[in-house]
Amino acid sequence: MRGTDGARNGRVVVVTGASGGIGRATAAAFARRGDRVALLARGEKGLAGAAADVRDAGGTPLVVPVDVADAAAVEAAADRVEQELGPIDVWCNVAFSTVFAPFEQITAEEWERVTRVTYLGFVHGTMSALRRMKPRDRGVIVQTGSALAYRGIPLQSVYCGAKHAIKGFTESLLTELRHDGSNVRITMVNLPGVNTPQFDWVLNKLPERPQPVPPIYPVDLMARALVHASEHPRRRAWWVGNPTVWTIVGNKVWPQFMDWYLARNGYEGQQRGEPASPSDPVNLWEPADGPEGRDFGARGSFRHRTRDRDPQIWASRNHGALAALGAGAVASGLAAWRRAR
């Protein structure tokens, strides 16, 4: 077996938000390695489907119903995982919820609920993971981030605020672990727009049903990115996909242009042209995939619009090799130049 920074078969992995979307696809991706995967989420039907996905992929599932907004419940879930599966090797925080609406249309209660799930859910998971990993001096925590952790956009103020907060506390923890000389690793994987059920069950106050900011990426590609990050956790953060890179870099270079562009295009670009309905499912307060709901699966409604490949993702994973090739090319060029002289 390899150490913390390499692949290990049969690891114990915790995935929050595992009943649907990125969390569910990530759980299945870990299972393909033969890992034992604890599935933490609220939705009974979604969890049952996720457990079947993990078994089909060759892993061992453990279903742990939990609301990540409840710190005590997350801690109890971590205890159960270690009792039934063994010491946790990887904790992957994915769970979130949100509201699509202009800022002034989001109530204080909705803000609090989203913040407790999307921000504090990551805090609670990280706390529980760290309590177990740090005494053993090993383990990996993977935070599912977003391009929106660096750049806020209209109609997603509550989600952007939570992702910015996750980035901030993760950077603080990373420096503390380095100060302590700990071998526990934490890394953040910042994703672009993804085809997940979020856009089918989100609390939506827009006139049309919401959609990810195009281009839209398949959920399985993002799941593989999270697994890859868990295998290479010395990198502090990953930027996945060209849109993520351009969003982060563009906001650093010319934020005023980003303000103008998003004000002009951000409303229409996040609505899919289908009228919203009061009967649309809502996952904020109760799980849409609970006993009275249905299993939404890992993938959303935009499969026909997804971008299956992105050279940036390959380049990001292989930047060391690319740097070596570049250095080799420069050295060869200099040698040829010297010979020509």
Beta carbons within 8 Å of 134's beta carbon, 6+ residues apart: 182, 184
CA distance 232 to 198: 28
Query: Token pair for residue 121?
Result: 């859910």
Mark residue 329 as left, alpha or beta (left: phi above 0; alpha: psi -120 to 50; beta: remaining): alpha
Residue 41: strand pairing partners: 65
159 has catalytic annotation: yes
DSSP 8-state symbol, 214: S
Mark residue 313 as left, alpha or beta (left: phi above 0; alpha: psi -120 to 50; beta: remaining): alpha
Bridge-based pairing state of the strands 237-239 and 185-191: parallel
Beta carbons within 8 Å of 256's beta carbon, 6+ residues apart: none
Residue 271: strand pairing partners: 210
Helices (H) and strands (E) in the chain, counts: 12, 11
Query: Token pair for residue 16?
Result: 């929050």
- Catalytic residue among 159, 217, 261, 267, which? 159
CA distance 327 to 322: 9
Q: What is the largest CA-CA distance in the chain?
A: 79
Q: What is the per-residue burial (b if ≥16 Cβ within 10 Å, else e) of 197-214?
A: bbbbbbbbebebbbbbbe
Residue 204: strand pairing partners: 100
Q: Give the active site residues.
A: 159
